[in-house]
Amino acid sequence: MNYNMVGDAIVKHCGGLENFIHVTNCMTRVRMTIADPSLVDMPALKGIEGVLGVVEDDTLQVIVGPGKSSKVATVINERLKGAPAVDTTLSGVEQKAKLAREKAKKQTRTKAILKHIANIFVPILPALIAAGILMGLNNVVVNSAASWAMSHHIAAVGDLSPTQVVLDQRHLLGVSQFLDIVSKALFGFLAIYAGITSAREFEGNLILGGLLGAITIMPQVTTLGLIPGQGGLIGVIFAVWLMCLLEKQVRRFVPDIVDVVVTPTVVLLVMAAAQLFIIMPAAGVVSNGILHALNGLLEHGGIAAGFVLSALFPFLISLGLHHGLFPIHLEMINATGHAPLFAIQIMSNAGMVGAATAVLLLTRDPVMKKIAKGAIPTSILAVGEPTIFGVNIPAGFAFITGSIGAGFGGVMVVLLGVSTNGVGAAGLSALPLIADGKYLQYILAWLVGCAAAFALTYVVGKVRGYDKEMA
């Protein structure tokens, strides 16, 4: 991909540099805040070579695929450095922005909450994936050593446990300790990172947001009868949301001359007390309730729950809401060490790959063939968005059949007891995250989902005459 050409084309079809307010990116999408949406040429934007799809939401999201989104966003931001600032007093711009805000308010409360949570975790996601993979690799090394130590009756030596003795003999003890430190630097302080990104999402002071997150993991909270981390990320996000509301209200009444001292002090004092004595205990009850409900669903719902949940996840991805489930996955890991729901979720990747492969074989459209050939390997390795937006949604029926196929992958996940001890990656990249060494079971479940989606898509495509359609 020529990133300069793609970036310049996006700028051109979005109304020029003067129509951009903010540009950022997530794993697969360039996310743009546009001053005047009426200036965006959607058909031309979708027709740019290398663009897999476009999503219109509170931001305009152009899907270009993993690794490419950051490079395209960088190109656009480089162009913006020399551009004049957006004049929001231009005729019609304020009115259009107001209409956009009103439209956003009309979305369902559930969707709005999931959108906020997704926006909070998008900046953390690359680190989550990296730390999760490193943790998974360390688990593979440690589990292998533990199994060897048990089967060969290895005894402890000094301060070293039997497992550590084996690791030391294999010259892997230092490597294991290194991987453990790096991964725990993310998961151990995740409440702080979530507090910072929550404050950014709700337009408050970033460091105060991080501080509220830090309060929840302080060991000293045990002196107040609390458990460090009680309430999880749900409590942190809610507390930071309240903090941002309070900060805006306090600032209205505090004189400018003492604002820098009084406002943060009052906000921190009030919110720290609320966090410790109200929010943490209440959020703990809510978190436990959610976990019990989900565990009950997975335990008693069996394969039906696995099928339905896996089949629904592609729809969440298509709406950009799937990251909103990260607090639940992470709370499950914190409570039990496993995230069975995440293992079910990533079967959506298998379904989308299977469907896209069938489309590749069926289609006579050379453009679709080219997109599919690039999207399928990416989705096998990592994320499913390239096949979702580049192949299956444009094909129409393939998105539905792919989702149904993913459901069969979810059935196998439940039957085989596959779970993860990390979150973030999908496809083959998720292998290090698989818990209890069930790597073959995960691959089998993934292949079943992929094969089911392929078969359904191919048969439906033949029946519909998709293989006879021209570009």
Taking only the tens place, the pLDDT of each residue in 311-332 is: 998 888 777 667 677 788 888 8
Is the pLDDT reported for residue 9 higher than 70? Answer: yes
Residues 6+ away with beta carbon under 8 Å from 393: 53, 318, 399
> CA nearest 6: which of 47, 56, 58?
47
Question: In the chain, what are the domain boundaries?
Answer: 3-106, 141-293, 337-468
CA dihedral (226, 231, 236, 241) in degrees, to 10, reads -110
Question: What distances in angstroms separate CA 153 from CA 143, 163, 176, 315, one per listed residue?
Answer: 15, 10, 21, 50
pLDDT at 57 over 80: no
What's the Cα-to-Cα distance from 89 to each of 43, 58, 155, 185, 396, rounded to whole Å?
28, 20, 75, 45, 41
Tokens of 235: 């409590």
Predicted confidence at residue 365, as pLDDT, reads 83
Q: Is the pLDDT of residue 27 over 80?
A: no
Beta strand extents in 44-118 (DSSP E only): 53-56, 60-63
Q: What is the pLDDT of residue 440?
A: 94
Long-range pairs of 68-71 with CB within 8 A, sequence gap ≥ 24: 68/1, 68/3, 69/25, 69/26, 69/27, 69/28, 69/29, 69/30, 70/25, 71/3
The winner for highest mean pLDDT among 61-75, 342-356, 412-426 is 342-356
The arithmetic mean of pLDDT across residues 381-400, rounded, is: 84
Which residues are catalytically annotated?
Answer: 26
- State yes or no: pLDDT of 209 exceeds 90: yes
Give the N- to C-terminal CA distance of the chain in Å, as an integer: 22
Q: Report, as an integer, the average pLDDT of 38-67.
A: 83
Instruction: Identify which has the larger pLDDT, 465 or 446.
Output: 446
Encode pLDDT of 79-122 as tens digits. 888 666 555 554 455 545 555 555 555 556 767 777 788 788 87
What 3-state class would DSSP assign to 157? strand
CA atoms of 346 and 427, how far apart (whole Å) = 7
Nearest to 280 by CA among 193, 215, 199: 215
What tens digit of pLDDT does each residue of 242-301 get? Answer: 999 999 999 989 888 988 899 999 999 999 999 999 999 998 888 888 888 888 888 888
| Residue 164 clears pLDDT 80, i.e. is over it | yes
- pLDDT tens for 228-244 read 888 888 899 999 999 99
Residue 471 pLDDT > 90 = no
Tokens at 51, concatenated: 């663009």
pTM over 0.85: no
Whole-number CA gyration radius for the chain: 24
What are the residues whose beta carbons fall under 8 Å from the beta carbon of 443, sequence distance 6 or more?
431
- What whole-number distance in Å separates Cα of residue 277 and Cα of residue 269? 12
- Beta carbons of 41 and 51 less than 8 angstroms apart: no
Which pLDDT score is estimated for 106?
Answer: 52
Task: Specify the DSSP class assigned to residue 60.
Answer: E
User: CATH for 3-106?
Assistant: 3.30.1360.60
Q: Classify residue 255 as exposed, middle or buried by CB count within 10 Å of its CB (0-12, 13-18, 19+).
A: exposed
